[in-house]
Structure 1
């Protein structure tokens, strides 16, 4: 889970929590946001078993999901999700785990272990033994991409590692640099409809860099990649009053990107720079990036405090921030509709909400609304501090005939033995569409 580096002091957060607790709770009420109680709520149908980021839990920390549809039997579709040092988890539509894939070990004693951060899918990739769907993972621990062929009926689990063992680091020059942790982080995949070539976009931890990589199938059937180009997003910003603003972070850290998604209809990449907002740029990383929305904290002076290991406000809010996102901007996914319309969906981690933006470039990706995922019962909670999200607007059997939204929950409740836990929450997409249409 991303630790929010720019935020308000704990005392202010506690004050806000006390105010919220004084408000009567109703099933249809949303949690308070800076604009009030305007967002509708939806409730989950299912959630996975808790993941624990400690030695007893295998250092497993839920982060990012992807939804794979079984076209021949949609009710047997799968959710593939990252668990960081815990590797990959594969779930059925009842949120039951059917496979666990460990992250690779460190290459040598003292080196960083594998750490799976984000996952995305490629469909119909031509392998030597036929076409296959692939789960693609950013291995933050080793600064590489990893590829897994999806075979729903394979004994032992549907994922098979087909990663080229000679795949090189994406950003680092050697193992020493990999161990420093400025490695592959966010991920989005896409296939160019005009050429049939598949690509991955990987962002870099603690950096503004996004790399474009062409996916390459080797003669032996393994899958690797080659670097095409890298884009550096801004790290500092000129504000309307003529001053300059740099998002706060630990010394040496730049405002990174994690959540990313490509719209195949127009070839645009949407990238969430966590402490800044959402960028739109061509997915081949050419052309000028456009900032389509800003976080509320945009332009707010803040300074890193070593004692608390947090960024604390150091001046008044100049009022240049956006209205719909609270840092961090996290999981981005594409909600398509049969008529070609739809939304770019983003996790607004700072206020536990989700924001929707029009896909149409002619509307300049106008904000269309938002919602929250709140508890259905004491045992089936909602989503807080969401890191990752995936949506599929297609029938998935009897369980989800209207499609499925899967979101990470950064605070699984109730806790077990006081341990912090995360999980993945499954929501009927029909309920989400009804909520945002009302």
Structure 2
């Protein structure tokens, strides 16, 4: 049987299906699914890096307020890099803001349900927009997907604001991203993954948003209003495939619960050329234009790609068949947090969380080099009191000096199995890793 993810069986999100509506695009991409060597599980052979700091544990229970760590973003204070921030989602717990010592300095609650029985706010992913022109001047923004309410929430960043650096500037009339009614919102096929992008040619800022349990991506333009709030409008959408033609002529879809399609969560845009990288969790990593035009290209596949599996309703698990060998070598489902390490000379890396084996894969940032695989690493325990990262959901890297403690830059990764002293509660959190250690590990 396939492995179990944190808090639910992997089968609750995967099932083989015969609906082939997206097969036209999938067929066009058949050449991308060339047979690969049999899966090589060499996670233990990858080099290890260790964190230097960890946030306080978050608890997804009644006492913890439903706080469940998911996705981070790193904001750099150009005037004083030592005062830079990490802004992270805590799902029902809203947002958390940390300093560079991983100490919490602000907690922002998610919105309450508008009516009894409606879904409350639940923040999934977060990203930043720099220097957007608002009515009061240019400002940096933190944008998050509110998975519970199917909306974007937008927060202005002001490091010296009393009470905390984040101020909610979301347009109160902002519409649902994907849902046509409150009933659809409550079905929770809502705004999920997120990446922001500012088009250098026009100066306009956008959010790329994925839909939970669907393959759809939406391009939303962020719109500043005269009252200082920020809304958004849908520019276009694109549906990635849910079924794939294999080299042997058969069709394959990832196993999931009936009615669910293989969703995207981890996404990042390369600001240099407007390239979007999107992690379809049970499929692999796609490369496409951030304006959602053109044909997506699958640059790597998970090891499980092409493996037939059937959903067993009695056990709520997927029963897998023989591996035909069409999968990749570097990613074990799910593909999760994607982030870029960008360097001044144009070089850099695309990092991806390989959640199924607790590792990270690194690819060349350059499209001209076909995003060649460069290596991998693990985030391992630094000590008995500072563990590593397991089942990582989200990651953010910044390859710029961040004060005295992080002169080589910073990588922040979610830890799906934090290990605080109180081991009687399920805990999550974020680990801070020296980015220089990461690049050294990949180079080795």
Which of these residues, 128, 134, 139, is aligned with residue 127 of structure 1? 134
Q: Give the Cα–Cα distance (whole angstroms) in 2 for the partners of residues 95 and 3 of structure 1.
A: 29
Q: What root-mean-square deviation, in Å, do the aligned CA atoms of Structure 1 and Structure 2 show?
A: 1.4
- Does the residue aligned with 2:45 lie in a helix, a strand or coil? coil
Deviation at 1:35, TM superposition (A): 3.0
> Following the alignment from structure 2 to structure 1, what is the Cα–Cα distance between the partners of residues 107 and 360?
28
Q: Which runs of 5+ in 2 are unaligned?
A: 1-5, 13-38
Q: Does 1:398 align with 2:404?
A: yes
Distance in 2, Cα, partners of 1:390 & 1:36: 21
- Superposed displacement of residue 306, structure 1: 2.4
Quick one: which of 355, 363, 382 aligns to 1:357?
A: 363
- The answer (yes or no) to whether the contact 1:6–1:275 under 8 Å persists in 2 is no
**Corresponding position of 2:372:** 366
Moved more, 336-345 or 112-121: 336-345
2:406 touches 2:434 (CA, 8 Å); kept in 1? yes
The one-character-per-residue Cα deviations of 1:127-185 (angstroms, maximum 9, x if unpaired) are 11111000000000000001000000001000000000000001000110000010000
Correspondence for 2:391 among 385, 391, 407: 385
Q: Displacement, 1:33?
A: 6.7
Normalised by the size of structure 1, how large is the TM-score?
0.92
Using the size of structure 2 for normalisation, the TM-score is: 0.91
2:435 corresponds to: 429
The 2-side partners of 1:184 and 1:150 are apart by 22
Is 1:93 matched up with 2:100?
yes
The 8 Å contact of residues 212 and 284 in structure 1, kept in 2 or not, is answered as: yes
Alpha-carbon distance in 2 for matches of 1:434, 1:142? 41
Instruction: Compute the displacement of 1:213 (Å).
Output: 0.3
User: Cα deviations across residues 309-365 of structure 1 (Å, max 9, x unaligned)?
Assistant: 22231x100000000000000000111112111011100000000011111111111
Counterpart contact for 1:206–1:256, Cα < 8 Å? yes
Residue 340 in 1 paired to residue 346 in 2?
yes
Correspondence for 1:176 among 183, 208, 218: 183
| Aligned counterpart, 1:11 | none
Q: Is the 8 A contact 2:57 2:420 kept in 1?
A: no
**Which residue of structure 1 lines up, in the alignment, with residue 201 of structure 2?**
194
**Which residues in structure 2 correspond to 1:7-86 (within 5 Å)?**
34-35=41-42, 37-86=44-93
Q: Corresponding residue for 1:207?
A: 214
2: CA distance, partners of 1:233 / 1:351: 25
* Residues 138, 145 of structure 1: 8 Å contact kept: yes
* Contact 1:415–1:421, Cα closer than 8 Å, also in 2: no
> Is the 2:102–2:432 contact (alpha carbons within 8 Å) kept by the matching residues of 1?
yes
Q: Distance in 2 between matches of 1:427 and 1:36?
A: 19
Contact 2:43–2:359 (8 Å) recurs in 1 = no
- Distance (whole Å) between structure 1 residues aligned to residue 322 and residue 129 of structure 2: 46
Question: Are the structure 2 counterparts of residues 130 and 412 from structure 1 closer, same or farther at C-alpha, using a change threshold of 3 Å?
Answer: same
Task: Report the CA distance between 1:2 and its aligned residue.
Answer: 8.4
Asked if the contact 2:420–2:427 (Cα under 8 Å) also holds between the matched residues in 1, the reply is: no
Report the CA distance shift for 1:134/1:3 in structure 2 as closer, same or farther (over 3 A): farther
Q: Give deviations 1:407-431, integer Å, cap 9, x for gaps.
A: 0000001462511110000001111
Report if the CA contact (8 A) 1:295-1:322 is conserved: yes
Match of 1:284 among 285, 288, 291: 291
Residues 11 and 257 in structure 2, CA contact (< 8 A), matched pair in contact too: no
Whether 2:234 is the aligned partner of 1:233: answer no
Match of 2:17 in 1: none
1:126 partner SS: strand
Instruction: Output the CA distance in 1 between the equivalents of 2:339 and 2:367.
Output: 16
What is the alpha-carbon distance in structure 2 between the residues aligned to residue 55 and residue 2 of structure 1?
15
Which segments of 5 or more consecutive residues in structure 1 lack a partner in the other structure? 8-31
Q: How big is each residue's C-alpha offset from its partner over 1:169-217, in whole Å with a ceiling of 9 and x where there is no partner? A: 0100011000001000000001000100000000000000000000000
Does the residue aligned with 2:436 lie in a helix, a strand or coil? Answer: helix
Query: SS in structure 1 opposite 2:368?
Result: helix
Measured in 1, the distance between the counterparts of 2:386 and 2:423 equals: 18
Residue in 1 that maps onto 2:256: 249
What's the counterpart of residue 3 of structure 2? none
Aligned to 1:317: 323
Give the drift of 1:4: 6.4
